[in-house]
Amino acid sequence: MSYRNEAVIYVDMDHVLCDYEEAWTRQKNLFPDLEFPQSQPGMYIGMNPLPGAIEAYRWLDDHPKTDVYILTAPSVHNSHCYSEKRDWVEKHLGLSVVENLIITPHKNLNKGDYLIDDMASGKGQDRFEGMLILFGSDQFSDWASVRTFFEETLNLGGSPPKAGPWDAFFNSEAGVTDDFGLDQDDRDWLDMKPVGNEKLD
């Protein structure tokens, strides 16, 4: 546990929050002659969330016993990757989570208790000081099993956590202006991108 008595949890993006395979196939169809179609713009922002990923992230993030960050390695050959990962997080999780987005090829340098990742090595996962939750393994085959683990291990189950900003954010109607405990950045973001209206102009 961290010094703040909250579990510091890192969550990977590709193959954990994001459906990399589906987006890669789409890119390959668009650019069939390219060996690395993921190098073209649209790959990373175009990934769909994996089933249950957004709901599980919100649940972990809202919980008072956790401190949650996204920890993702970039494709260093591809500058689009950096900005599109950032935009993906804003699009699917909101600006407040962008504040907790860490893009690094050296995951071991981040201190914490848990790392949810589909790779056991390659970007420092094997030297991470906390516990590796190997997403896609027999024990953690999907987000439901990861959530069960945290409910049991951190005793996060039972009564629901206090209503966090996410509850208000996702349950609110477009244009709502009540103070739900969102910080100013979140309120600005809501004004720019009303809930339920994807139209950008």
The C-alpha atoms of residue 156 and residue 57 are separated, in whole angstroms, by 13
Residue 50 near residue 16 (C-beta atoms within 8 A): yes
Angle at 130 between CA 129 and CA 136, to 5 degrees: 120
CA gap 79, 29 in Å, rounded = 21
Q: Interface with Mg ion by CB under 5 A: which range of 41-49, 74-82, 114-122, 190-198?
A: 114-122
Give yes or no for residue 84 binding Mg ion (CB under 5 A): no
Does residue 90 belong to the site contacting Mg ion (CB under 5 A)? no
Any idea what DSSP says for residue 151? H
Shortest separation between residue 137's beta carbon and Mg ion, angstroms: 13
- Rounded Cα distance between 16 and 10, Å, is 11
* Catalytically annotated residues: 12, 14
Contact set for Mg ion, span 115-144 (CB under 5 A): 118
Q: Indicate whether 61 belongs to the interface with Mg ion (CB under 5 A).
A: no
55 touches Mg ion by CB under 5 A: no
Closer CB to Mg ion, 15 or 193, in the complex: 15
Using CB under 5 A as the binding rule, whether residue 12 contacts Mg ion is answered as yes
When asked if residue 74 is in the footprint of Mg ion (CB under 5 A), the reply is no
Could you say which of 7, 10, 11, 14 contacts Mg ion (CB under 5 A)?
A: 14
Smaller CB distance to Mg ion: residue 136 or 175?
A: 136
- CB burial of 98-114 (b: ≥16 within 10 Å; e: otherwise) equals bebbeeeeebeebebbb
**15 contacts Mg ion (rule: CB under 5 A):** yes
| Whole-angstrom distance, CA of residue 82 vs CA of residue 73 | 9
Chain residues in the site for Mg ion (CB under 5 A): 12, 14-15, 118
